[in-house]
């Protein structure tokens, strides 16, 4: 699938988090705070397509926690069945797996822990796959979290991002962990500060609770936002915000 260059259009991207093959949401990334929304992530993906989504954000939570993706075939099925732009992450840490997903039609592979722990590898991936690579910056008190948010790096998020840009990264997904799944609004200033500091496209994630939050995120300079719990809880109707 070709890369999605929509110019200045702000993207609202529904999230599908997969744990043990089911569509779930976690609260602040805690695996002991899981809500199961559906046993069939593919059905959910088709629902978001029907409501007008152009892109879906898929996370293999098993892979994020252990480093070994468990839901790759499900991700491939979502790519095939929806025909949408799919960006996915969660334990995707090898050249072979990235190539496999790109061959399957994925638009973006989102790397997290790999970027923090293996900068040399990240440079290789960026050189080979270009804009197909995006890096997830998951922030907790200004520091980057890794391993499915279970560990905190010594590096601050901006330092990490600038190092990644030098290695060829052209896009970030920025999440404020404290806001994720809490339904109390994004950290607009934190997002804006990060975007200003890095100077490349950033997709905001974490805390979107109502349509007004999306409007405010447009003002931060982000190129889009990921919406999860608010969609599943019916607080936001995707067809309306799109």
Residues identified as active-site:
17, 138
For the chain, what percentages of helix, strand and coil (3-state, to nearest 5) are there? Answer: 40, 30, 30
Q: Pairing relation of β-strands 22-27 and 30-38? A: antiparallel
Q: What are phi and psi of 233, to 5 degrees?
A: -90, -5
CA 90 to each of CA 19, 51, 163: distance values in angstroms, whole numbers, following the listed order: 11, 25, 21
Q: What are phi and psi of 222, to 5 degrees?
A: -70, 150
Residue appearing with tokens 């690579």: 133
Helix ranges (H only) for 130-241 are: 157-166, 188-198, 211-218, 229-232, 238-241
Q: How far apart are CA 42 and CA 61, in angstroms?
A: 16
Q: Is 2 helix (H, G, I), strand (E, B) or coil?
A: coil
Structure tokens at 40: 């069939």
Q: How far apart are CA 114 and CA 127, in angstroms?
A: 15
Burial class (CB in 10 A: 0-12, 13-18, 19+), 130: exposed
């Amino acid at each position: 699938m070709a890369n999605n260059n929509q110019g200045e259009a702000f993207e609202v991207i529904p999230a599908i988090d997969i744990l043990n093959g089911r569509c779930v949401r976690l609260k602040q990334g805690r695996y002991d705070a899981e809500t199961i929304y559906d046993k069939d992530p593919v059905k959910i993906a088709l629902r978001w397509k029907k409501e007008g989504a152009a892109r879906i954000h898929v996370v293999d939570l098993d892979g994020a926690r252990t480093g070994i993706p468990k839901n790759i075939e499900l991700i491939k099925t979502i790519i095939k069945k929806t025909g949408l732009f799919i960006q996915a992450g969660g334990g995707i840490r090898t050249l072979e797996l990235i190539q496999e997903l790109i061959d399957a039609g994925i638009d973006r592979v989102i790397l997290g822990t790999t970027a923090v722990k293996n900068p040399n590898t990240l440079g290789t991936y960026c050189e080979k796959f270009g804009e197909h690579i995006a890096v997830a910056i998951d922030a907790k008190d200004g520091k980057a979290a890794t391993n499915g948010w279970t560990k905190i790096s010594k590096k601050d998020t901006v330092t990490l991002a600038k190092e990644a840009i030098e290695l060829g990264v052209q896009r970030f997904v920025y999440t404020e962990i404290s806001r994720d799944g809490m339904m109390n609004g994004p950290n607009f200033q934190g997002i804006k500060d990060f975007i200003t500091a890095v100077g490349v496209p950033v997709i905001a994630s974490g805390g979107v609770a109502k349509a007004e939050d999306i409007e405010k995120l447009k003002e931060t300079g982000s190129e889009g936002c990921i919406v999860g719990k608010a969609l599943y809880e019916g607080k936001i109707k995707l067809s309306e915000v799109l």
